[in-house]
Chains A and B, each alone.
Chain A
Amino acid sequence: MRTTIMPSVRILIFFTILTGILYPVGITFVALGIFPYQANGSMVERNGRVVGSELIGQGFTGDRYFHPRPSAIAYDPVPSGGSNWGPTDARMADSVAARRDAFIRKNGVPGDVVVPKEMLFASGSGVDPHISPDAALLQMERVAAARGFDTQKSDALKELVMRCIEPPQYALFGEPRINVLSLNLALDALEKGYPPPF
């Protein structure tokens, strides 16, 4: 027994130092050196003030902004979470119907319009930063009306939404999507007549 206990303790200490301290600390230094923006959480600033992370969705509710997906945690990621409703959960059936109605009503779109799937279901993380291009286009008129945009500004807004579409990464991975926070930042800039912040 003695012959296995001492090596166990000593090699565990060795690997604790190597993989528990040197490895994460080393990676942190290198990461902060080469990719400081990403390593610190991809924080977005406006006028020198951090207004959020590009990767963490925000729970926009006002008419002046594009809205994100439904969230089981109201976009408060401490801790992150999804609904974990199963496919035959009554709450899911009710929520999907209610969200479809609300989306159609709020955005004043025709009742037979196909509401994009992601707007009917809550994400896994609860802070999904993206929606599909269709989901943004369907919200455009509501946003323009709330901000009192004239025809010219509304056309500029449409152009802005199209510019915000992220194609599949490296033309291969994922689906086309729009980052809601980036779009809303660009929207604020557009209203003030500033160039978009990207």
Chain B
Amino acid sequence: MITVSELIQLMLYALALFLLTPPLGKLMAMVFRGERTFLTPALGWLERVAYRVSGIDPDKAMDWKGYLWSLLSFNAFGFAVVFLLQFFQSSLPFNPQQLPDVSWHLAFNTAVSFMTNTNWQSYAGEVTLSYLVQMLGLTVQNFVSAATGIAVLLALVRGIAGRSTGSIGNFWADLTRSIVYLLLPLSIILSLFLVSEGVVQTFSGSRTVTTLEGVQQTIPLGPAASQVAIKQLGTNGGGFFNMNSAYPHENPTPFSNFLQMLSILLIPSALVYMFGAMVNARRHAWVVWGVMFFLFAAGVTLSLWSEYTVNAVTGVGGGMEGKETRFGVANSILWSVATTAASNGSVNSMHDSFSPLSGTVAMMNIMLGEIIFGGVGAGLYGMMIFIILTVFIAGLMVGRTPEYLGKKIESFEVRMAAIAMLLPSAGILLFTALASVADAGLAGLNNQGPHGFSEILYAFASTAGNNGSAFAGLTANTPFYNTLLGINMLIGRFGVIVPMLAIAGSLAQKKITPLSSGTFPTDTFLFGVLLTGTMLIVGALTFIPAQVLGPVAEHFLMLNGKVF
């Protein structure tokens, strides 16, 4: 059974998230409008240097195509750098363990993984990647891929708020401001907190010690804290060490665990507030926040109930396989729901060993598109797909052209939203089907029976959703999986970004329609219910069959003590 102390920790988490949302959201709204804040005197020069050395005019307005091309070319170069750094790592400095060059397929997978903010780990940090790759490759992409997500959201915000302009802002300015005023300062603060709790931060190579019983133990070290901070804040999730935030040098104490968990949802949650402030629809934003929080709380409840259900196979409820003593059951479950609600994907316990329905909660969070708070930027622009669909359905019901915050939603927007929804879903289901019948796909399984299917399904959900967590028993570092999962990540990222920017551009050209008695209000409880219903119905129709084949079947087999 769940303990009182665990309940208090869960409530403390919700409270901290709620209280930090308005102040950070307010600050971000000011920063992204280009207003002066208390950070300007300290960091304004850095923003100006960025523009000067790059030859950028931050005030130059872009239409959606210009914005998209800037984003794509910036991401393409980012990919190339991470790929090449790995491919030639043995010839490059800062490689104290003298690790060899990374294979082409793993380098491709890892480069895509970090460029798309997925941070799927086919690599094992401590035995695959040099410190140089971790810093110049992964840490940099942690920052810029998160900033890219925020930029897309800002473009959408301007599309909604703009008055027949066609401009959706300047990609370079959005990118730069996200990093300079938001991600970098928060990362500096968090990484120092994390070091004080025991996360390592050094350039020395690993250390071999002789234990009390005379055994040799090699302890990997490295500049972990600086990367862990942005990995959480930027909803990236890629670990410095193989076992991510389950590994004590990456997440040493219950308090470091709390800080990291809070960092996962902090910016996504505050972005909802920022959105309300920037489009001047605060009540609507709180309704959206409320829907997110409701689904989050429901996920935590279901997952905890399932995890504490006695497993007839082992005779234990609340089993500790893959969990750490210092976190216990509730903190492991809370993390798993937060990391999959957001597109974070870091783990503090092994999802593969969770009870089946806890695995379902994690997978459904991802499959809905990570819109329960979601990834930085990506969460809210993904939620926009469902908002557009909801408004559209509501419009059909009353027989009027649907409007959203004063902008008419017409066939172009609905078509784009449908594409953004269908592409990642198709990636998940079709690739899962392929891997479930291909020899190369089945070769990677660690578990048999329905759980083996869940391992494959989770991998493709996680990569299409740009999440990065895993049922990690799957051996994914093979040409087959590295390539397919890499392609899936690209579909899941750009298959959503491109249509969303198109929507932003289309909305930006439209006039603001004044409110009338026929306008369907989006700031009411009723809208919240409709939005929740749309998400659940669409998510259910798409993914319940696959869930039934995997975790749901396993749940009932488990209750009957069946093993594989």
Contacts and interface: CB of A to CB of B under 8 A. Distances in A.
Are chains A and B native binding partners rather than an unrelated pairing?
yes
Interface of A: 1, 4-16, 18-21, 23-24, 26-28, 30-32, 34-35, 38-43, 49-62, 65, 69, 75-90, 92-93, 96, 117-118, 120-132, 168-170, 172-175, 177, 181, 184-185, 188
B322 A123 contact: yes
A77 B247 contact: yes
B6 to A, nearest CB: 8
Interface stretch (B216-224, B288-296, B381-389, B417-425): B216-224
Leading 8 A-B pairs by shortest Cβ distance: A174-B254, A84-B473, A124-B246, A173-B254, A86-B451, A79-B242, A80-B243, A130-B325
Contacts of A59: 211, 213, 215
B349 interface: yes
Contacts of A52: 209, 211-212, 217, 219
B489 interface: no
B179 A84 contact: no
Interface stretch (B47-55, B391-399, B406-414): B47-55
A86 B212 CA distance: 33
B226 A27 contact: yes
Given A28-B226, A41-B219, A89-B564, A23 B246 contact: no
Contacts of A35: 195-196
B22 interface: no
Interface string B143-175: 110000000000000000000000000001001
User: Which of A9, A26, A76, A78 lies at the interface centre, i.e. has the most chain B CB atoms within 10 A of its CB?
Assistant: A78
A134 B290 CA distance: 41
B382 to A, nearest CB: 25
Contacts of B230: 19
B253 A169 contact: yes
B247 A125 contact: yes
Interface in B21-56: 46, 49-50, 53-56
Contact of A65 (B50, B213, B316, B320): B213
Contacts of B215: 58-59
B217 A58 contact: yes
Contacts of B103: none
Contacts of B324: 123-125, 128, 130
A85 B353 contact: yes
B53 A88 contact: no
A21 B563 contact: no
Interface stretch (B200-208, B480-488, B509-517, B521-529): B200-208
B256 to A, nearest CB: 9
14 contacts: A10-B54, A12-B77, A18-B179, A18-B184, A19-B139, A24-B135, A24-B223, A41-B221, A69-B325, A87-B311, A87-B353, A88-B554, A120-B314, A125-B247
Interface in B355-384: 355-356
Contacts of A185: 212
B209 A51 contact: yes
Chain B interface size band reads: 35 or more
Contacts of B73: 1, 4-5, 8
A49 B331 CA distance: 36
A1 B74 CA distance: 12
Contact of A173 (B195, B257, B558): B257
A173 to B, nearest CB: 4
Contact of A11 (B172, B195, B563): B172
B327 A174 contact: yes
B355 A87 contact: yes
A89 B447 contact: yes
Interface in B465-507: 471-473
Contacts of A75: 217
A120 B314 CA distance: 10
A67 B563 CA distance: 29
Contacts of A16: 81, 136, 140
A87 B347 CA distance: 18
B47 to A, nearest CB: 11
A28 B447 contact: no
Contacts of B66: 4
Contact of B70 (A4, A24, A128): A4
Nearest to B321: A121
A197 B442 CA distance: 52
B463 interface: no
B311 A8 contact: no
Given A88-B563, A122-B321, A78 B218 contact: yes
B237 interface: no
Contacts of B331: 174
B126 interface: yes
A24 B187 CA distance: 10
A8 B213 CA distance: 55
A124 B248 contact: no
User: Which of B184, B326, B455, B473 lies at the interface centre, i.e. has the most chain A CB atoms within 10 A of its CB?
Assistant: B326
Given A8-B70, A86-B471, 14 more contacts: A16-B136, A20-B136, A34-B196, A42-B198, A51-B210, A51-B211, A78-B126, A81-B242, A86-B353, A123-B325, A130-B326, A173-B257, A174-B254, A177-B325
